[in-house]
Amino acid sequence: MKRLSPREMRRAQERMLKSLGLNVEEMGQAEEVVIKLGERVITLKGPLVYAVKTGGEKIFQIIGGEEVAAQAEETKPVYEPTEEDVSLVMAQTGVSEEEAKKALLDSGGDLAKAILLLRSRR
């Protein structure tokens, strides 16, 4: 069997899909395509993108491109309540230092939310 070039392969694919009633539109070369699969992220630089239309649906086909190594996701710094925040929550609610710290952690450092949370428990 004769080996087809990528261009010949695309043309043959388009003819076959048209014969099945599918409309193929070449959208062009993308700068970047990012696919997120749960915790896994696949990034492709410079792939060709096609849209295949059938009925009311659109299917995107991504061809080629250079896979870029996944970058570690940025993590938010862990919130640590300051002594002033803990003292303020304690003074406003009359709870222990440990309860005030826990409320501040639960509220992500939102003083008003922590105070309301502790007052609603009484």
For 22-64, what is each residue's pLDDT tens digit? 888 888 999 999 988 888 888 999 999 988 888 788 889 899 8
Give 45's contacts (C-beta < 8 A, 6+ positions apart): 31, 32, 65, 66, 68
Give the count of domains, the chain: 2
Any domain includes 1: no
Checking if the pLDDT of 9 tops 70, the result is yes
- pLDDT score for 50: 86
58 and 87 part of one domain: no
Q: Is residue 75 part of a domain?
A: no
State which amino acid sits at residue 94: G
**Domain annotation covers residue 16:** yes
Order of strands across the sheet that contains 57-63: 23-29, 48-54, 57-63
CATH code: domain of residue 103: 1.10.8
Same domain as 62, residue 89: no
- Phi first, then psi, for residue 25 (nearest 5°) are -120, 120
Q: What local confidence, expressed as pLDDT, does residue 73 receive? A: 56
Domain encompassing residue 111: 83-120
Separation between Cα atoms, residue 66 and residue 49, nearest integer Å: 13
